[in-house]
Structure 1
Amino acid sequence: MGISEHCRTIILGTGPAGLTAAIYAARAQLAPLVITGTQPGGQLTGTTEIENFPGFPDGIDGNELMDRMRRQAERFGACFFDGDAERVDLGSRPFRIFFADRSATCDSLIIATGATPRQLGLPGELDLYGRGVSVCATCDGFFYRDKEVAIVGGGDTAMEEAIFLTRFARKVTVIHRRDSLRASPPMQQRALENDKIEFLWNAAVSEILTDPAGVTGIRLRDTTNGEESQLDCDGLFVAIGHDPNTGLFKGQLDLNEEGFIITSKECQTSIPGVFAAGDVQDAHFRQAITAAGTGCKAAMQAERYLEEQ
């Protein structure tokens, strides 16, 4: 669908946050224009089975869930543009969003551009998401009951996810490229004292080993002497951080040290009329349901903001 020259609300992103915002904004008669972005549907489109989203007792495919949410938003009048914003001007009202060959203005903006998990950069890594490689223990830990898994990382998130995985896995091996953790002392202590967690220090994953069913193990390189070894495992979790997709907003919105958009509890950014929802402002939970919740809040706040204007 083409872009209107001016919209009351523009929503950037079509993950759970953006699509929930679209549903609420459309039902509030804001006629939102939703920009799909470079990854329509967001991170969930790389998840084959979602079992922790309420309302689906048998689980649901990530692509199907996102498609259902988009159709729900369209039913209420949301318009979608399959493209990506290249530049934004939030310095004056109305706000202006620039695309490859056109631009559009809006009275309120909802940013739901998400975050991108950092990758190891190994061949075939992306293709193995959902088949033995994961970036979310909370999402996928259940599938590794009584199995052996490895997790890469040394920060609080990696330790938290390793501890969580011990609820299901028979054994969790933490792989860290240095000989000490970056995690906070309390989190380190919890992980080091857990009998189901083992540590491989000064090690980096150099290859993911597979068979037709998925991951069978990993090849490791010693970061001190270059020697190689092999670790058999049923799954590999990558917990080396996320990069928020906030490049468009640097210098215009307040960001924290990690680059996430700083918002109030009402999802308000540092500029009135600009709201943010989902992983682009949530460095902690990063769950589909929490993203959807902030998308709802952002849309309701945008409606209130427009009424006040």
Structure 2
Amino acid sequence: MSHPVLVIATGGTIASTTDASGARVPTLSGAELVRASGAPARALDAANLDSSSITLADIDELAARIEHSLADASLAGLVLTHGTDSMAETALALDLIHRDPRPLVLTGAQLPADHPDADGPANLRGAVAAAADPRLRGRGVVVHFAGRTLPARGLIKASTEDLDAFAAPNNAPPRPAPVARRPLDGIRVPILRAWPGASGELVRAVVGAGVDGIVVEALGSGNVSDAMGSELARALGAGVPVVVATSVPRGGVHFDYGGAGGGATLGERGAIAAGALSPGQARMALITALASGTDPRALF
């Protein structure tokens, strides 16, 4: 029997069982996940990874596979099973290039497949239903988890334990126009965490290593120490793009404060405010902009 939804499996907790040492390891195929869920869908295996190990090359391969799969006009939509650790980042990376109006839905689980209260089957059933829902056409990439369907843009993993693991931003930014799919692999954009009184040595080290851009996980609404701010200003002057995100989960970045490390000063020097995007999502947006030759500001 043909089904209008294709499930592309990549591993993660939803596909994991517990080994003899008590560790969770991805072991189940996409077909096994679909059977366990009872969802009316086809399955395709793309990877069997813990999502903390997913590379830019893996995302490139997934993006190409998704584009190839959507050449099948009989499909109503796609589901991608994925580990929760980097689900929000992969979702944003795919959303930035997803031009097809059909839904692309990511889902996963907090509990392994062999847990007596495994949440994966219900999440997958809901994701398949969302992928087939015509009301989601044209909305880009979404994440279905714990009965909720949330936009990719601005999404964060808000809990390491709760079954309702994801939260949407309270000031959800609009989705920009999708850009061309280009290889992300090889573009070097680290995330540097700020802390009170931080020196500029980490900035100097990564610039010296030849990075393509920097994302700063700043304090508050987008501020760093004076010493770190001075080094970021030097990086910007050398042509290295800098995006300022925040470690605060709600409210986003606003360039309001002066001083060498203040957001207003960094903005004047050319830094880009990440808005409501988390540091991880900001990294994906900057990498995508650099890969596609897009002005990074257009993706923030």
TM-score range (shorter-chain normalised) is under 0.3
- TM-score, normalised on structure 1? 0.26
Give TM-score, length-normalised by structure 2: 0.27
Larger of the two Rg values belongs to structure: 1
